[in-house]
Structure 1
Amino acid sequence: MKKIFGLTMGVICLAASLSAQATTVAQLVVRGTITPAACNLSLGGGGIIDYGVIRSGELSQTAFNPREERTTSLVVNCGTTPAKFGLTLTDLQGGSKVPGILGTGFTEAQNYGLGAVGTRRTGGYSVTLRDLRSSGVVLNPIMRVSAGAWQNSDGKVAQTPSQYSWRNGVTVTPASISQLTGVIAVKAVINRAQDLDLTRDVTLDGRATLVLSYI
Structure 2
Amino acid sequence: MERCSFALLAPLLIACAPVAFASSSTELSVTGLITPSACTPSLSGGGIVDHGKVSVKDLRPDQPTALENGTLYLQVNCGGATPFTLTTIDNRSGTSAFHPNSHGLGVINDDQKLGSVALRLFDTVADGVAVKTIVSLNDGATWRVSSYLGHAGRTAFAALNDLGTPIAIMDLSARLTAFTTIVRANDLTLTDEIPIDGHITVQLNY
Give the TM-score, by structure 1 length. Answer: 0.77
Matches within 5 A, 1:97-176: 97-99=96-98, 108-118=99-109, 119-160=111-152, 162-168=153-159, 169-176=161-168
Aligned-residue offset at 1:197:
2.1
Secondary structure of the 1:141 match is strand
Aligned to 2:59: 59
Q: What letter matches 2:164 in structure 1? A: V
Contact in 1 for aligned 2:108/2:194 (Cα 8 Å)? yes
**Given that residues 86 and 149 in structure 2 are in contact (C-alpha distance below 8 angstroms), is that contact kept between their aligned partners in structure 1?**
no
Q: Report what 1:94 is aligned to.
A: 93
Instruction: Report what 1:47 is aligned to.
Output: 47
TM-superposition CA deviations, 1:21-68 (whole Å, max 9, x none): xxxxxxxxx999723311111111121100001111111111111112
Separation in 2, partners of 1:50, 1:5: 88
Counterparts of 1:172 and 1:125, CA distance in 2: 27
Distance 1:110 1:6 in 2: 80
Q: 1:179 to 1:200 in 2, by over 3 A?
A: same
Aligned alpha-carbon RMSD (Å): 2.8
- Structure 1 unaligned regions, length at least 5: 15-29, 100-107
Aligned CA distance change for structure 1 residues 184 and 32 (closer, same or farther; 3 Å)? closer
Query: Could you say which residue in structure 1 is the equivalent of 2:170?
Result: 178
Match of 1:84 in 2: 83
Matching of residue 212 in structure 1 with residue 204 in structure 2: yes
Deviation for aligned residue 1:7: 4.0
Deviation at 1:173, TM superposition (A): 1.2
Aligned residue for 1:37? Answer: 37
- Per-residue CA distance 1:101-157 (angstroms, 9 max, x = gap): xxxxxxx24322111212122111111011111122011111112424232222023
> 2:23 is matched with which residue?
none
